[in-house]
Amino acid sequence: MALLKDLEWRYATKKYDPSKKVSQEDVDKIVEAARLAPTSSGMQQFRVFVVSSPELKEKLVPIANGQQIVAEASHVLIFAAWDQYTAERIDSIFKLTTQERGLPSGKFNDYTNRLKAVYLKQTPEENFVHTARQAYIGFGLSIAQAAELKIDATPMEGFNNQQLDELLDLRSKGLKSVLMLPIGYRDEENDWLLPMKKVRNPKEEFAVEL
Ligand SMILES: Cc1cc2nc3c(=O)[nH]c(=O)nc-3n(C[C@H](O)[C@H](O)[C@H](O)COP(=O)(O)O)c2cc1C
């Protein structure tokens, strides 16, 4: 119930108070929610970049089609996903799981072979469609965690992904940007969206009982 109240409270904040900063402790919690997200086969196919530097946030404005939100927010989280699957990436996470759980080496070999048979046959573009989906799961949990802390957030995909990848040199890290999440504190006086009713489809249309 508390979570639903937080989700009703949150909205896609359009104007931030640039003088209010999110504490490092709270930024860490919002990132941790994404780290704890479930992902397909547990491969954690995405990473989160935390931008707090005013200079770097300013550079995000033209990339975000002039949306000032990214400069005025306290921090901007950037969710980036693997540009493709590789055998090394698949092996690496299962090696970690094997070690952390104290399992015999090679325990997941059959499983990783099946994953490789599926993903390594696909194009990098097809792979990225799948890895990017995983980023959305973490993104949703970060938004919910921010709301629980009464920190505002704006989900954003309205930006030029290629330009952002270049700015952050993501391609050299084998990543491509998926989403931005500015976080901070709403400017109560000047945000046009704040007084507006939250609009959703009626429950009986949304959930279909079979
Ligand atoms: C994936 C995604 C991308 C979005 N991109 C933008 C964006 O680029 N700029 C923006 O102002 N809002 C953006 N939004 C906010 C949506 O318009 C907003 O979440 C939706 O209208 C519902 O309103 P609420 O979040 O206030 O409840 C995005 C939302 C999502 C989930």
pLDDT at residue number 14:
98
DSSP H or E stretch at residue 143: helix 124-148
> Residue 111, SS3?
helix
108 closest CA partner among 116, 118, 121, 98: 98
pLDDT at residue number 166:
98
pLDDT at residue number 103:
97
What is the Cα–Cα distance from 174 to 156, expressed in whole angstroms?
A: 22
Q: Is 182 a pocket residue for ligand 1 (Cβ < 6 Å)? A: no
pLDDT at residue number 162:
98
Average predicted confidence (pLDDT) for the chain: 97
User: Phi/psi zone of residue 16: left (φ > 0), alpha (ψ -120 to 50 degrees), beta?
Assistant: beta
pLDDT at residue number 128:
98
Domain extent listing, the chain: 2-85+123-206, 86-121
Listed in sequence order, the residues at least 6 apart from 177 whose beta carbon sits closer than 8 Å to its beta carbon are 78, 79, 80, 159, 161, 164, 165, 168, 170
pLDDT tens figures, 137-154: 999 999 999 999 999 999
Number of H helices, E strands in the chain: 9, 4
pLDDT tens figures, 147-188: 999 999 999 999 999 999 999 999 999 999 999 999 999 999
163 closest CA partner among 51, 65, 50, 54: 65
Residue 1, pLDDT above cutoff 90:
no
Residue 123, pLDDT above cutoff 90:
yes
CA of 14 to the centre of ligand 1 (A): 10
Which amino acid does the sequence have at 67? Answer: Q
Which residue is closest in CA terms to ligand 1's atom 6? 156
CATH 3.40.109.10 applies to domain 2-85+123-206? yes
CA of 192 to the centre of ligand 1 (A): 14
pLDDT tens figures, 88-111: 999 999 999 999 999 999 999 999
